[in-house]
Chain A
Amino acid sequence: MPDGGLAIQTRGLTKVFGRQTVVNGIDLSVPRGSVFGFLGPNGSGKTTSIRMLLGLASATSGEISVLGQQMPKRAGTVLPRVGALIEGPGFYPFLSGTANLRRLDSADRFAQSSTRTVRVGEALERVGLTHAAGKKVRAYSLGMKQRLGIANALLTPRELIVLDEPTNGLDPQGTREVRNLVRSLTASGTTVFVSSHLLAEIEQMCTHAAVMRSGHLVAQGSLDELRQAGQARVRVLTPDPGAARRVLAQLGLAADADASDTHPLDGETVTAPLDAGQDGDGAIGPGTLADRPLDPEHIVAALVAGGVRVRGFAVERATLEDLFVALTGEGFDVAQ
């Protein structure tokens, strides 16, 4: 199964806690060199999946390969090439930032002790913690701990970096820094796998994404592919919603049952999905080629001809956000 072109690949990865299936047969394919967003609401199984990828938890069933090798069987050779931040930072509060990183670095048998001091210093500098390096972690803010956690993932050159909700607890400035950091990592060819429950974050830094919804992987691909999957819709603002629905139906467009908006002056908004074959740029669907071209102007013409007072008209392509809300069923901050 291992595919050398993929940094992470899973087949039917499943985790059951008691009677709850927390991760349900997911097939992840994370291309090498990508910044891969692992998106899903809280409790959708992201952290649990990451724990299995890194050999912390065993899979109930399914296969995992990381960097072309089976996990957890080859953990000893795979994990030194992987840096990770998993469900928040974990440090010894009674040790300084530097001492914490030295400790975790000394656990890696592939990390050279002769370069430890230099590497720890560089990692701290990269996350902007040099000034607090000697301070006890007890005195760090959550944001500082989060940065220290990221520094830990950068202690040695990594082929894959896994960041579970890396901007949790960071202020907007810190969030921006993490984004820049991730960019600088990919510049050196590192694959970054980053989980988040915030779409905006993923949209801003990722090339690829996968969407989790209560343990299921509901979408996966490059951001462009995911955007393509979003459906175009027509939107008509009119005081004659009944007539508008009728005309749209004649055109073969099933208007949504209830009005999405009512405006006291202009009437109602009637929406209808364009056929799946329709493209946002007005391309013609295969079934409608000969007699009923559904260009926006044709729809408007038909509406006007049908006596509908059109006060507003648009063909809209769903944003990624619409798509993700549709896929996950909920807003992104809502659990399950």
Chain B
Amino acid sequence: MSHSDEADSPTASGARVTQPLTRRPTAGWALMGSELAVLFRRRRTWVMLLALALIPVLVAVAVRISSAGSSGRGPAFIDQISQNGLFVALVALTICIPLFLPLTVGVVAGDTIAGEANLGTLRYLLVSPVGRVRLLVVKFVAAMAFCLAATVVVVLAGVLIGAALFQVGPVTLLSGDTIGVGQAGLRALLIAGYVTVSLLGLTAIGLFVSTLTDIPVGAMAATVVISIVSQVLDSLPQLDALHPWLFSHYWLDFADLLRQPIEWSSFGSNALLQLGYVAVFGALAYGRFASKDVLS
């Protein structure tokens, strides 16, 4: 019964369709591949990743040429760099998290739907047909991949430039324990994972904002502004009660991953919070996009 309902069945009046659709649909992975290819082959994406990679380079060079020793100011871990180049990655991440990462993520997430609408490709994707839900999922996954790529680029560039300009050796953790270079590399990747997860809530917000407009720049700007507002609210002690609900609340709490044994609680709270944001804004994006008139 279920199959006789399919497209290839003769219609009630007995008329035959000219070219019955007998093929089974594929799983649809081709679109995911295509989406990733379009995203990562795009020059804009490369420029953003390159700009992110420049930040650890700047940090390392600045520390290298200023022999001024420790001033006690500046980002966390910056004083450790001259003893151990691996810390360049940590310092660079700390610098990138409040602004540069949200900026690039805002660009990618804000562009997801609005960018296609603006190019006029959205209507062609939809009549291809890509289901609207499938398109949202594919877009979100690709934006997630960008978050991962962005943080990994910062960490990797930091480790490489750190190793090039400074000595690299065993790392003394916040808990006082010392781990080897290999172990330290793993911790660095773990931190990249933490930061990636941190950005998922913002990605979901960007996806939702992107369904609201046909103007990608507007969606990008709105997403970045939202990330800044969240951080500003998080810095106001009067709004204490609100803080644990802000998606940026745990952004800089990756230091707990630098203890022995690893302190997972902030990772867990962060992941849960981000998941909540993904659920809420994913649902909002679905609610908006599934029934939206595509008139672009």
Contacts and interface: CB of A to CB of B under 8 A. Distances in A.
Interface of A: 2-5, 32-33, 51, 54-58, 67-69, 74-82, 84, 86-95, 102-110, 112-113, 152, 157-159, 189-190
B293 A58 contact: yes
Given A4-B10, A33-B18, A92-B121, 6 more contacts: A67-B17, A68-B15, A94-B42, A106-B33, A107-B129, A158-B19
A103 B291 CA distance: 24
Contacts of A86: 123-124, 127
Given A4-B12, A90-B121, A103-B38, A55 B21 contact: no
Q: Which 3 pairs between the two chains have the least Cβ-Cβ distance?
A: A90-B120, A4-B15, A4-B11
A91 B14 CA distance: 39
Nearest to A69: B7
Contacts of B229: none
7 contacts: A4-B13, A54-B127, A57-B293, A67-B17, A81-B7, A104-B121, A113-B30
B38 A57 contact: no
B42 to A, nearest CB: 6
Contacts of B19: 81, 157-159, 189
Contact of B17 (A68, A76, A105): A68
A106 B15 contact: no
Given A68-B17, A77-B6, A80-B21, A103 B294 contact: no
Contacts of B26: 109-110, 112-113
Contacts of B10: 4
B69 interface: no
Contacts of A110: 21, 23, 25-26
B237 interface: no
Contact of B7 (A54, A57, A78): A78
Contacts, number: 131
A104 B128 contact: yes
A77 B128 CA distance: 11
A55 B127 contact: yes
B74 interface: no
Contact of B38 (A95, A105, A190): A95
B217 interface: no
Interface string B103-142: 0000000000000000111111111111100000000000
A3 B33 CA distance: 39
A51 B294 contact: yes
Nearest to A3: B13
B236 interface: no
Contacts of B34: 102-103, 106-107
A75 B131 CA distance: 9
A93 B44 CA distance: 13
B295 interface: yes
B120 A107 contact: no
Contacts of B73: none
B124 A152 contact: yes
A84 B33 CA distance: 24
A158 B21 CA distance: 10
B221 to A, nearest CB: 21
Contacts of B18: 32-33, 159, 189-190
Nearest to A5: B15
A55 B13 contact: no
Contacts of A33: 18
B164 interface: no
Contacts of A93: 119
B131 A90 contact: no
A293 to B, nearest CB: 46
Contacts of B125: 104, 107
A91 B115 CA distance: 11
Contacts of B262: none
B28 interface: yes
B255 interface: no
A83 B27 CA distance: 21
A51 B43 CA distance: 32
Contact of A88 (B13, B120, B291): B120
Nearest to A102: B34
Contacts of B123: 51, 56, 86-87, 90
A86 B127 CA distance: 10
B145 interface: no
B31 interface: yes
B45 to A, nearest CB: 11
A146 B64 CA distance: 56
B17 A75 contact: no
Among A55, A110, A152, the most chain B Cβ lie within 10 Å of the Cβ of A110
A106 B291 CA distance: 23
B21 A81 contact: yes
Contacts of B295: 51, 56-57
Contacts of A190: 18
Contacts of A159: 17-19
Contacts of A32: 15, 18
A102 to B, nearest CB: 7
Nearest to B22: A110
B30 A106 contact: yes
A2 B12 CA distance: 8
Contacts of B127: 54-56, 79, 82, 84, 86
Contacts of B13: 3-5
Contact of A106 (B31, B119, B126, B131): B31
A87 B124 CA distance: 11
B135 to A, nearest CB: 8
A186 B171 CA distance: 73
Nearest to B27: A109
A58 B121 CA distance: 19
Given A68-B15, A80-B21, A108 B126 contact: no
